Amino acid sequence: MIIKSFEIKKNIKNILKYNFFLLYGENEGLKKDIKEEIKVALKKKDDGMEYNTLYEDEILNNEENFYESIYSGSLFSNEKIIIINNCTDKLIKQIENIKEKYPENLYIIILSDVLDKKSKLRNLFEKENKCACMPCYLDSNRDLENIIIKNFKEQKIPISKEAINLLTEKSNNDRGNLLNEIEKIKNYSFNKKQLNIEEIKSLINF
């Protein structure tokens, strides 16, 4: 099932009817945001939920250990979140095996780079009703501007249109890059009420 990124922010509860999530695309910052929102929402259901992070290479090199981490019980919680990083079509067999058994106490969040339309992993998640497929394309300038304005408003730091344009350009359309630059400015401006454009240029190495 294909789900747009804005639908998650609109109503995260609707997303939690799925147990399998695929976040793919070039926007690393957006993938990180969505992953954290899903984790926070799931933690509200069960604060003691077990959490584990794996990489595709680890799974391929030790498949038995992977299945054990999924199906073994936990002393602290009945539910688990498994994050799989750098996932590709190489892992399609393992994902299909787990999906067929569909353990209700298990949530899997898969993070992938760009997947083309022929990708087996992408096709599985797009067509399967039990799975949520979330493409994470590059942010638009408007998206980035809204993030900038929101962050500076929260810190009560005035920011000019010129500074907004500089930050947007420096981000390369990825909110992860943008938030890193904003964090530099926040740290620098901790005891300052105003920043000039030259200070911002220096901070972001523009």
Q: Quick check: 87 and 111 in contact, CB under 8 A?
A: yes
Model confidence over 32-75: pLDDT tens digits?
Answer: 989 998 888 888 877 778 888 999 999 999 998 888 888 776 54
Model confidence over 177-201: pLDDT tens digits?
Answer: 899 999 888 888 776 667 788 888 8
Residue 189's Cβ-side half-sphere holds a number of Cα atoms within 13 Å equal to 22
Model confidence over 7-37: pLDDT tens digits?
Answer: 776 777 777 788 899 999 999 989 998 999 8
Indicate the range of 94-108, 121-135, 180-194 predicted with least confidence: 180-194
